[in-house]
Amino acid sequence: KLTTSPSSTGTSDVATIAKNAMPSIVSITNMSVQEVQSFFGGTQQQESTNVGSGIIIGQTDSELLILTNNHVVEGNEKLTVSFVDNESVSAVIKGADSTRDIAVIAVKLSDIKDSTMKEIAIATLGDSDSLQVGEPVIAIGNALGFGQSVTTGVVSAKDRELTGFEGKLIQTDAAINPGNSGGALVNANGEVIGINSAKL
């Protein structure tokens, strides 16, 4: 079994927190085929690639479970997960809730190299209800599809509501870019307290 990422309680050292959290963050590539209108009035199929992030949240006897945004993985023909050591494996959707923009995908343990298993970790989950406005947070994810990146900020507001989204949102001023979707928002203890879903 994987161990959880070590928690660095009481430290404000962003580099240490990020280093401890990164083994539990993955990059996700979603290849999909869409019907598009052609110039001459017919339709044709066009392949498109969507990139995002995910958080390793658990392990069963046969699978690694990864939390992400539904919009990162919906409509997929082929899902690929890349780990912190840049090894890539295919994944399948286990369940999704489009109203909350959340999905769980799975990777077979038998598809993951032993060397990769030594590099990755299950995320430590924190309590988002106990967040304070002004508390420092770190966003980690596959920004712009270039691989893992780290940005910092604070909790700007709690319990924000968004049209078409069921549930409450944490607002942060940490920079979020396309590709960050599905990645982790972590607190100063390195615990995941949110998932980066929307950029406004």
Q: Which residues are catalytic?
A: 71, 101, 181
Query: 3-state secondary structure string, the chain?
Result: CCCECCCCCCCCCHHHHHHHHHHHEEEEEEEEEEEEECCCCCEEEEEEEEEEEEEEEEECCCEEEEEECHHHHCCCCEEEEECCCCCEEEEEEEEEECCCCEEEEEEEHHHCCHHHHHHCCECCECCHHHCCCCCEEEEEECHHHCCCEEEEEEEEEEEECCCCCCCCEEEECCCCCCCCCCCEEECCCCCEEEECCCCC
